[in-house]
Amino acid sequence: MADAHYTNPRLAALYDPFDADRSDLDVYAAMAAEFGATRVLDISCGTGTLACLLAGRGYEVTGLDPAGAELDIARAKPHGDRVRWICGTAADLPADVRADLVTMTGNVAQVFLRDDEWAEVTSAAYRTLRPGG
Ligand SMILES: C[S@@+](CC[C@H](N)C(=O)[O-])C[C@H]1O[C@@H](n2cnc3c(N)ncnc32)[C@H](O)[C@@H]1O
């Protein structure tokens, strides 16, 4: 379960204003281009900044996050209508989601505190990736 600052709409609305400089995402966009990816899964996509940026560049993007309040913000962003948003954790990832590249940005790895949680999310990423992805 995500923390209240992600799930409470009034708190989720503060995420982007408090983290306005997203130049940290440039490296992920560069990786997508370098690897020739066409389909990207962004695990724990939050307010969808990377997902929308990539969708605007023509990538087929799936954004996964358990915090519906953040996904509401993400949907309203430019290119948000081109992203497949899934509200849930790795355990909820549908089998039909396929990707060449799986991303986790903004210190997401720190969300997964137990070994079984980390195993679940990395297994889901592996299942989703095409061979060689
Ligand atoms: C620090 S934010 C990063 C959001 C986004 N990736 C970014 O770069 O702005 C961490 C995200 O992890 C999500 N999260 C929390 N628990 C989770 C879980 N069990 N599975 C997947 N995502 C989770 C939160 O809802 C939140 O959006």
**29, containing H or E segment:** helix 26-34
* Domains: count for the chain: 1
The pTM (predicted TM-score) of the whole model is 0.97
Which of 65, 85, 115, 128 best tests ligand 1's pocket when mutated (most atoms within 8 Å of CB)?
A: 65
Q: Which residues have CB under 8 Å from 42's CB, separation 6+?
A: 48, 50, 51, 54, 61, 62, 63, 64, 102, 103, 104, 105
Q: Which carries the bigger pLDDT value, residue 30 or residue 110?
A: 30
Residue 28 alpha carbon to ligand 1 centre in Å: 16
Atom of ligand 1 nearest to the CA of 15: 9
Q: What is the mean predicted confidence (pLDDT) over 93-119?
A: 94
| Reported confidence tier of residue 55, pLDDT bands at 50, 70, 90 | very high
In a domain, 67, yes or no: yes
CATH number of the domain enclosing 23 = 3.40.50.150
pLDDT at 61 over 90: yes
Q: What is the pLDDT of residue 57?
A: 98
Domain around 92? 4-128
Whole-number percent of the chain with pLDDT over 90: 92
